[in-house]
């Protein structure tokens, strides 16, 4: 009984009999088997279309409009800080319930670093705006000088 070519490279299927010795010996003698693609098994319990990128669902961004300079403002420093702060509070709540979710913890640290860099930029450019953002959002922020001392 001849097995499909995929069996020669991928190994036998779970319910298929072992490969015939003659097929193996043909391969070892250098017989051409052609191009064979092994089908990859689907991951258990996951859809093939799962994306690791966060789409923004579930984040409470009700405070963000307070910091917008105009209706379509999404890129100003204050708005970015407000959006990141909303995400930080959401991830913090998630980590309280899931203490061993280290991937989320890593993501939270990266978001906190991004927010800190934006706050440092605001510190260098507009300290009054920094004070209002930190006070309104309830962020604990140390200046660069205070962190080094």
Query: Residue 77: which residues within 8 A CB-CB, separation 6 or more?
Result: 118, 121, 122, 129
Quick check: is 35 in a domain? no
The CATH number assigned to the domain holding 109 equals 1.10.287.10
Quick check: is 19 in a domain? no
Q: What pTM does this model have?
A: 0.61
Identify the domain containing residue 111 by its residue range: 64-148
Q: Which of the given ranges, 19-23, 24-28, 62-66, 134-138, has the highest pLDDT on average?
A: 134-138
Q: Between 51 and 40, whose confidence is greater?
A: 40
Quick check: is 17 in a domain? no
Question: Average pLDDT for residues 13-29, to the nearest whole number?
Answer: 63
Quick check: is 49 in a domain? no
> Which pLDDT value is given to residue 146?
74
Residue 58 scores a pLDDT above 80? no
**C-alpha separations of 59 from 7, 85, 93 in Å:** 48, 10, 11
Residue 11 scores a pLDDT above 80? no
Quick check: is 36 in a domain? no
């Amino acid at each position: 009984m001849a097995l499909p070519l995929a069996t020669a490279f991928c190994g036998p299927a779970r319910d298929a009999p072992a490969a015939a010795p003659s097929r193996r010996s043909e391969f070892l003698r250098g017989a051409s088997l052609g191009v064979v693609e092994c089908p990859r098994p689907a991951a258990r319990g996951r859809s093939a279309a799962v994306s690791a990128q966060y789409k923004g669902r579930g984040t409470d961004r009700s405070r963000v409009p307070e910091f917008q300079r105009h209706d379509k403002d999404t890129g100003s420093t204050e708005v970015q800080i407000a959006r990141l702060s909303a995400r930080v509070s959401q991830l913090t709540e998630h980590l309280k319930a899931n203490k061993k979710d280290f991937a989320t913890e890593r993501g939270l640290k990266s978001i906190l670093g991004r927010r800190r860099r934006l706050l440092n930029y605001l510190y260098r450019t507009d300290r009054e705006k920094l004070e209002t953002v930190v006070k309104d959002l309830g962020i604990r922020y140390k200046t660069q000088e205070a962190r080094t001392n």
